[in-house]
Amino acid sequence: MDLLIKGGTIVTPTESFIADVAVKDGKIAAIGNELQVNAKKVVDAAGKLVLPGALDVHTHLAMPFGGTVSADSYLSGTRAAACGGVTTVFDYPVQHTGETIIGLINSKKKILEKEACVDYAFHCCITDLNGGAILDEMELAVEEGITSFKCFLVYKKEKMMVDDGTFARLLLRTKELGAMLNVHAENPDFIDLNIEKFLKEGKTSPWYHYLSRPEYVEAEADKRVVHWASHLEAPVYIVHMADKDGLEACIQAKKEGHKVYVET
């Protein structure tokens, strides 16, 4: 065996118990009491919890946005993940006009190969179809392991938002490829109205960021996502769901047999 973890409290989805864990080629080979196996490395886990590595499927590491860059670098973000028991992160590189999916992913890989402290994978945010070339390239991306994509129904001024036609094309294409489309669902026009009002009133604290996008602004977009995905019979994954009405629309769609997934 490559690894023997002795005497830890193993936590499973249904129970916890004290036992040994033997690992070979990166996979659990045996679980039991006082395992009599030879291992290259032995870890005494008495008094400690033995947990599966967590996956964080929604990170924005070193992401340029709004004239700045998100706080976590690839190094600091994945180091923090490792300290918290997260062994894989899924990052969201954002494709812009003229960029290819594979070119974007490869540019991120060059950094992560040097800095990442944990395993990593990618969703890819699509903001422009590049005259349809991106729809063709998505097949190659899936073959390379990029099996989920994302689009924004918000951030119009930042030129990241897709229109309904592009959204529909992405839904149909991911369905065709056996991939998944993730969606950030909000209504940008209502948000911009609120932002304009708060700026005129000098209300610029973080609290007004929250107030500028009340739950019904997200709910409207959530319902639109569910409506189109259901009628096009395409799977969809709504990211960071934060409103009751949208959640209820998703629950109803799931009851009707549609493949609608929700991220909390």
Q: pTM for this structure?
A: 0.85
Which CATH class name applies to 54-262?
alpha beta
pLDDT for res 198: 97
Q: Give 191-215 pLDDT, tens digit per residue.
A: 999 999 999 999 999 999 999 999 9
SS (H, E, C) 146-186: CCEEEEECCCCCCCCECCHHHHHHHHHHHHHHCCEEEEECC
Q: Give 76-122 pLDDT, tens digit per residue.
A: 999 999 999 999 999 999 999 999 999 999 999 999 999 999 999 99
Q: Report the 10 Å Cβ neighbour count for 20.
A: 22
Q: Give 6-20 pLDDT, tens digit per residue.
A: 999 999 889 999 999
Query: Does 2.60.40.10 match the CATH number of domain 3-50?
Result: no
Decide if 175 contacts 182 (C-beta within 8 A). no
Domain boundaries, the chain: 3-50, 54-262
How confident is the model over 131-154, as a mean pLDDT?
A: 96
